């Protein structure tokens, strides 16, 4: 449990997956050398308990792999049931973030939760242009990856379609929990800050996937749709997090740290 003032934040492990390093290395040969052949990438939603509200940020991958879909077991271990969740916030619509939203029989997993996501994100993935081309390699240059994205969007979002509430711009969803645009990884990717008194936590979503991206903020991966955009967002939010001495939580690290600014780079200090 991570205390942030009056909030109690619980990392909820969904599992992890091995990624071939080529997916994460971008086009820089030095990074290719620096990474192991396969990188184990954890999927870690965060439960934020304010005492009166329980907000789950992201939902894991569901049955994307044998090693994922452990969200509910981890929730139980932290002392919560799906019915305890009042709100689910989706940082973006990639499969590893939306797969826990609904059960395999097509019912919502969290019966009492409103579901908040960026309108821009939803519209992007449901645009007429993309509907015809997603799955052909048009977006990422990888047809299989796109087919999985399309499958997960078509399977896990429709059961909650009626209860979706749209985010755009900065939105305080409950006192002290602020959602803000953090585009680049996807067009409607959002980040969340939890603030209480002098303490704060930045839920950075997929702004970083591997630790080396702190020291090399220009390092993008195949999953970042807008390379310039994510670098700009990363610098903006990391600048603020280091100035505020915020705790930083990355979905794909599963651990918390702080970012210390060092010239144009950042140093990741694990807590
Ligand atoms: Zn992700």
pLDDT digits (tens, 9 = 90+) for 131-140: 889 999 999 9
Q: Which is it for strands 190-196 and 177-181: parallel, antiparallel or unpaired?
A: antiparallel
The 8 Å CB, 24+ separation contacts for 155-158 are 155/102, 156/62, 156/98, 156/99, 156/100, 156/101, 156/102, 157/93, 157/98, 157/101, 157/102, 157/122, 158/102, 158/106
Distance 60 CA to ligand 1 centre (A): 9
Distance 80 CA to ligand 1 centre (A): 23
pLDDT tens across 95-119, in order? 999 999 999 999 999 999 999 999 9
Indicate if the pLDDT at residue 22 is higher than 90. Answer: no
User: Can you say whether residue 39 is alpha, beta or left, with left for phi > 0 and alpha for psi between -120 and 50 degrees?
Assistant: beta
**Two tokens, residue 192:** 């969340």
Which three-class secondary structure string do you get for 218-265?
CCCCCCCCCHHHHHHHHHHHHHHHHHHCCEEEECCCCCEEEEEEECCE
C-alpha to C-alpha distance for 222 and 253, rounded to whole angstroms: 18
pLDDT tens across 71-86, in order? 999 999 999 999 999 9
| Per-residue pLDDT, 25 | 80
Distance 76 CA to ligand 1 centre (A): 23
Query: How far is residue 53 from each of residues 68, 81, 161, measured CA to CA in Å?
Result: 26, 13, 22
Distance 6 CA to ligand 1 centre (A): 28
The percentage of residues in the chain with a pLDDT greater than 90, rounded to a whole number, is 82
Beta carbons of 146 and 134 less than 8 angstroms apart: yes
Say which CATH architecture domain 2-270 belongs to: 4-Layer Sandwich (3.60)
pLDDT tens across 172-221, in order? 999 999 999 999 999 999 999 999 999 999 999 999 998 888 988 898 99
131 Cβ contact list (under 8 Å, min separation 6)? none
Distance 206 CA to ligand 1 centre (A): 5
């Amino acid at each position: 449990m991570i205390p942030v003032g009056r909030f109690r934040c619980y990392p909820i492990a969904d599992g992890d997956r091995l990624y071939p390093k080529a997916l994460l290395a971008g086009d820089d040969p030095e990074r290719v050398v620096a990474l192991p052949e396969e990188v184990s990438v954890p999927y870690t939603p965060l439960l934020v308990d304010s005492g009166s509200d329980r907000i789950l940020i992201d939902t894991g991958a569901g049955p994307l792999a044998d090693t994922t879909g452990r969200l509910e077991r981890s929730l139980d271990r932290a002392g919560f049931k799906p019915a305890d969740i009042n709100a689910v916030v989706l940082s973006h619509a990639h499969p590893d973030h939306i797969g826990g939203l609904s059960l395999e029989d097509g019912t919502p997993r969290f019966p009492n939760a409103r579901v908040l996501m960026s309108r821009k994100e939803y519209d992007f993935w449901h645009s007429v242009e993309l509907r015809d081309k997603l799955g052909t390699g048009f977006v990422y240059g990888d047809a299989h990856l796109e087919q999985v994205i399309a499958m997960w969007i078509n399977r896990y979002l429709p059961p909650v379609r009626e209860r979706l509430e749209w985010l755009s711009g900065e939105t305080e969803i409950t006192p002290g929990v602020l959602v803000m645009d953090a585009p680049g990884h996807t067009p409607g990717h959002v980040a969340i800050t939890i603030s209480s008194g002098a303490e704060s936590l930045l839920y950075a979503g997929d702004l970083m996937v591997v630790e080396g991206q702190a020291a090399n903020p220009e390092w993008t991966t195949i999953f970042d749709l807008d390379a310039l955009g994510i670098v700009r967002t990363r610098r903006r939010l990391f600048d603020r997090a280091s100035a505020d001495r915020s705790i930083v939580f990355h979905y794909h690290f599963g651990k918390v740290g702080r970012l210390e600014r060092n010239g144009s780079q950042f140093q990741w200090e694990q807590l």
